[in-house]
Amino acid sequence: MALDLLIRNGSVVDGTGGPRFAADVGVRDGRIVEIGRIGGTARRTIDADGQIVAPGFIDGHTHMDAQVAWDALGSCSCWHGVTSVVMGNCGFALAPCKPDAREWYARCLEAVEDIPTEAMLAGIDWTWETFPEYLATVERLPKGINYGAYLGHSALRMYVMGERALSEAATEDDIRAMEAAVREALKAGAMGFSTSRASTHTTPDGSPVASRIAEWQEIDRLVGAMGALGAGIFQVGPDVSGGAAQRAFLDRLRQVALESGRPVMFGLISTRQGDKPNPWQYQTEFLDRSCAMGAVMWGQATTKSINAVFSLKSYLPFDVLPAWREVRSLPLEEQRRRLADPAVRARLIADEGTMKPRDNVFQGGAGATTDPRKPDYGNLFAMKGVGWDDDPTVETLSRERRKHPVEVMLDLSVENPDQLYVQPLVNESPDAVQGILSHPRTLATFSDSGAHVCQEMGSSLQTHMLSYWVRKRRAFTLEQAVKMLTADNADAWGMADRGRLKEGMAADIVVFDEDRVAPCMPTVEADLPGGARRLVQKAEGIAATVVNGVPTFENGRATGERPGKVIKGPLAKGA
């Protein structure tokens, strides 16, 4: 019988961590059916001579719950070899949701994730109410990648409690209703349940999101509902507002893990922000201690710093200031003309002097762009390339040019309106990130793709891993890195038929040039519904991406095929 797809002459890195080997890969009916030297015919052939053939990458921390409704490609993840994602992290989701609360949900999501409400309302055909109905909608949508989803705590709380969710403890009746919804979601295919205790997660008026109002006893009950069914992952956005707060959070999280018996995941970072922050080693040692006590626990890690990204076309750190607001409200070309005027510049520089001083309040990308402190110009980089070590600080350029830092930024932006500036928020040190990634209980999977759409850009974490950590720093072998991006994540999320190139597995495959694969420079594009803007970052050096046996990208261009599926948890029928 003819194959549907034959990938010939490649070097297979199969996701197990074992050494590469020369082989062809044969695919039929969405599955890998043969690996070796294949002499048969195929309806479609990809010549992978000189290329690496690897499992498609898996990203377990995204926020593509809204975007999936209008973006069939699954960008920006799809451009970086990602074939499967998990969305609904940190308690943020679009289901369950009563019809009259849709705009409220959208505005809450905008406040945290910078996805414009107008884009969501224009791009979503919002026909669901319950989580099973939402998952069924995603199943029907055309998809270029695979999607799994959590039931989000903030969405669930607002659905059950209404406006009380934002200010009150849950009653016993509330908790029972939420427990029932958790069970319903798991049986429909939810990967688990997510929540947030992060101080950066706030509503449009600055108050805590619904999940942060919940008492820990409520979380015990909801995760306990998963424990009673013997299924589901508990994912939580951690409290990293300061060292003491993080220690208290982690101690309580361990109790949840031990009592429920469910796998627990939280974001593991290195940071200089906050009130007397703990070193990253405190978190990895916590993982070791907790797992030794019987917990199943993972730290979700990035492969690079998490940055606030600024530009003339998106946000600048000064946009909230009166003189700046006047200029920034103008069309782009008029802004450039005004910003070149010495008199205007003098007012803008004077206005910068009135900014709030830096303090010990932890800020994420949202706060850094909408409630900024006076920039630390030694930690604000003028982006010149995608390598971590390529960019000069604004402070350095200011000293070299003998100009005020603001004037340096204006010079660069007037000359090139696409000039980007990056302010590392966490994971500022490459050595710290290497230490985190090297720990056996961390997962390279924290892109936030689909969120902070014009504030941060983490979707390139996979190609950054390959270009920076493998090729430039030589900190990991290619085989190690591929395993971290594929099999390790598949195992942690229970995706038993993905993450490895093996006969019988789903044919999610990426073909790339190990000497060229890398992220491209980000750009600001107005391609969201209604023309809203976002940061876009593509990649180079990827020859083909295959999802469920069907090529979705060849040489960076979409094929138009949409073979993505919904990845369901173990309690769903047919999972």
pLDDT digits (tens, 9 = 90+) for 209-228: 999 999 999 999 999 999 99
Looking at residue 414, its pLDDT comes to 98
CA–CA separation, 184 vs 206, rounded Å? Answer: 32
pLDDT at 369: 66
Query: Token pair for residue 150?
Result: 């959590």
Counting Cβ atoms within 10 Å, is residue 99 exposed (0-12), middle (13-18) or buried (19+)? exposed
In the chain, domain spans:
57-304+429-456, 308-426
State the CB neighbour count (10 A cutoff) for residue 473.
Answer: 14
- Shortest CA distance to 90 belongs to which of 271, 239, 306, 282? 239
Mind listing the pLDDT tens digit of every residue in the chain (575 residues)? Answer: 799 999 999 999 999 999 999 999 999 999 999 999 999 889 999 999 999 999 999 999 999 999 999 999 999 999 999 999 999 999 999 999 999 999 999 998 888 778 789 889 999 999 999 999 999 999 999 999 999 999 999 999 999 999 999 999 999 999 999 999 999 999 999 999 999 999 989 888 889 999 999 999 999 999 999 999 999 999 999 999 999 999 999 999 999 999 999 999 999 999 998 899 999 999 999 999 999 999 999 999 999 999 999 999 999 999 999 999 999 999 999 999 999 999 999 999 999 999 988 878 877 766 666 778 899 999 999 999 998 888 999 999 999 999 999 999 999 999 999 999 999 999 999 999 999 999 999 999 999 999 889 899 999 999 999 999 999 999 999 999 999 999 999 999 999 999 999 999 999 999 999 999 999 999 999 999 999 999 999 999 999 999 999 999 999 999 999 999 999 999 997 66
pLDDT, residue 362, reads 79
Strands 542-547 and 509-512, by their bridges, are antiparallel
Q: How far apart are CA 106 and CA 121, in angstroms?
A: 8
Assess contact for 152 and 108: CB atoms under 8 A. no
Q: What is the DSSP letter of 164?
A: G
How confident is the model at residue 110, as a pLDDT? 87
Q: How far, in whole angstroms, is CA 542 from its chain's centroid?
A: 20
Instruction: Count CA atoms closer than 13 A to 491's CA, side-chain side.
Output: 17
CATH architecture assignment, domain 57-304+429-456? Alpha-Beta Barrel (3.20)
d(CA 473, CA 371): 35
166-175 exposure pattern, b = at least 16 Cβ within 10 A, e = fewer: beeebeeebb
Q: Distance between CA 218 and CA 176 in Å, rounded? A: 10
Q: Which two tokens stand for residue 130?
A: 């319950």
Please choose, from the candidates 177, 136, 173, 138, the residue with its C-alpha nearest in 3D space to the C-alpha of residue 156. Answer: 177
| CA 513/CA 432 separation, integer angstroms | 28
Tokens describing residue 106: 């959208």
Q: What is the pTM of this model?
A: 0.97
Helices and strands (DSSP H and E) totals, the chain: 19, 26
Q: In whole angstroms, what is the distance from residue 483 CA to residue 417 CA?
A: 39
Amino acid at residue number 491: D
Please tell me what DSSP assigns to residue 16: S
Using CA atoms, how far apart are residues 46 and 550, in angstroms rounded to an integer? 11
Instruction: Assign 3-class secondary structure to 448-492.
Output: EECCCCCCCCCCCHHHHHHHHHHHHCCCCCHHHHHHHHCHHHHHH
* Spatial CA neighbour of 287 closest among 244, 314, 253: 253
SS (H, E, C) 495-519: CCCCCCCCCCCECCEEEECCCCCEE
The pair of three-digit structure tokens given for residue 255, joined into one six-digit string: 């109790």
The number of C-alpha atoms within 13 Å of 185 and in the hemisphere containing its C-beta is 33
Give start and end residues of each alpha helix (H) in 162-306: 172-188, 210-213, 216-229, 243-260, 280-292
Token pair 């917990």 in the structure block, residue:
295
Do 430 and 436 form a contact (C-beta atoms < 8 A)? no
Q: What is the DSSP letter of 570?
A: T
Provide the residue count of the chain.
Answer: 575
- State the CB neighbour count (10 A cutoff) for residue 275: 14
